Amino acid sequence: MSDRQDERRPETALHARREGPTSGKKVWFITGAGRGMGVDIAKAALAAGNAVVATGRNIDVVSKAVGQAEDLLVVKLDVTSRPDAEAAVRAAVERFGRIDVLVNNAANFYAGYFEELTPEQIERQLATGLIGPMNVTRAVLPVMRQQRSGHILSISSGAGLMGFEFNSAYCAAKFGLEGWMEALQPEVAPLGINTTIVNPGFFRTELLTQESTTYAEPSIADYAEGHAARRAWYEAQNRQQSGDPAKLAQALLLIASQEPPPRRFIAGADAIAVAEQKVKDLQEQINAYRDLSTSLARDEVKGAEDRR
């Protein structure tokens, strides 16, 4: 069976029926809506009177998590699959006629020291955390360009601002996500499309559960002590995070209502502390080597500057 034939199977979407654009409502398209933060975002958007396309790899899980609603469409979407992304966007447009807000939320976490993580694990981390949002955004952008409006919110992390021990693969995905989003912003802004990078701190989601987190198999003695300590710390943090994902969902609704919305939203006091430390570290490094950095121009350029 071809990919295109598979996309037309009736179980690809639940609660589906064709209708025109939803008058007076925004249409939210949310990835990773089967558990964790995506569920809270979907429920909050629905409660605020919006239409929601809730997506996930298993539509039964998504439907059970989000519940039933008149303006809800549940669609199968594995973000690592471009055909899935294209089919999900088609289903959204067939049902609601437009997509106003895309939330790139789907996530996983491969934890471990770089040398302990296999190349395949790192590829899977990048596939979900970086290439996945690109796949979905690529499918959504033609819709938003035609509308000359839209808002793309991509959920990053404090690990997208600063590198953390035991997070090399995850940080690589989040740093990549942020670089791509920052470059995308001036490309799509003239077309009426806004972008926002969201940097949550530690929220009590399901990211640290066994369904979302994969720990590297300890294999290198030099890292053994650090690995054991870091894994124990993360396991202890599971279900103990201070951030409330329901409050974050409400904050994203507010962000999406702003004109214009912020290009970045740092969510949580702990995330602000990370961002402020990053700014401090950058400024210290700039100042420590400012004279060396500013001495690197070609001599003829420097001479021309001196003559002015």
| pLDDT (tens digit per residue) in 172-222 | 999 999 999 999 999 999 999 999 999 998 665 555 455 557 887 877 899
Q: What pLDDT sits at residue 273?
A: 93
174 catalytic per annotation: yes
Give residue 137's Cα distance to chain centre: 11
280 catalytic per annotation: no
CA-closest candidate to residue 157, choices 109, 225, 112: 109
Q: What pLDDT sits at residue 10?
A: 34
**Nearest-angstrom CA–CA distance, 230 and 116:** 13
Q: Which two tokens stand for residue 89?
A: 């966007």
Q: What pLDDT sits at residue 21?
A: 44
Give residue 161's Cα distance to chain centre: 13
Q: What pLDDT sits at residue 236?
A: 75
Q: What pLDDT sits at residue 206?
A: 53
156 catalytic per annotation: yes
Per DSSP, the residues of 25-58 read: --EEEESSTTSTHHHHHHHHHHHTT-EEEEEES-
Q: Are 75 and 92 in contact (CB under 8 A)?
A: yes
Counting as low any pLDDT under 70, the low residues of the chain are 1-24, 202-212, 237-243, 301-308
Q: Longest Cα pair distance anywhere in the chain, in angstroms?
A: 74
Q: Are 88 and 75 in contact (CB under 8 A)?
A: yes
The residue from 154, 156, 157, 168 that is catalytic is: 156
Q: Distances in Å between the alpha carbon of 2 and those of 5, 161, 185, 217?
A: 5, 41, 35, 37
**Nearest-angstrom CA–CA distance, 84 and 139:** 10
Q: Are 250 and 137 in contact (CB under 8 A)?
A: no
Q: What pLDDT sits at residue 212?
A: 59
**Nearest-angstrom CA–CA distance, 243 and 250:** 13
Question: Dihedrals φ, ψ of 126, to 5°?
Answer: -70, -35
pLDDT digits (tens, 9 = 90+) for 224-241: 888 888 887 777 766 656
The residue from 110, 174, 215, 223 that is catalytic is: 174
Q: Are 213 and 207 in contact (CB under 8 A)?
A: yes
Q: Are 193 and 144 in contact (CB under 8 A)?
A: yes
Q: Does domain 3-267 have CATH number 3.40.50.720?
A: yes
Q: Which two tokens stand for residue 279?
A: 């700014």
Instruction: Give the burial string for 80-97 (b: 16+ CB within 10 Å, else e).
Output: bbbebbbbbbbbbbebbb
Q: What pLDDT sits at residue 20?
A: 42
Q: What pLDDT sits at residue 303?
A: 65
Q: What pLDDT sits at residue 203?
A: 62
The residue from 26, 43, 110, 170 that is catalytic is: 170
CA-closest candidate to residue 27, choices 1, 54, 4: 54
Q: What pLDDT sits at residue 239?
A: 61
Q: What pLDDT sits at residue 3?
A: 37
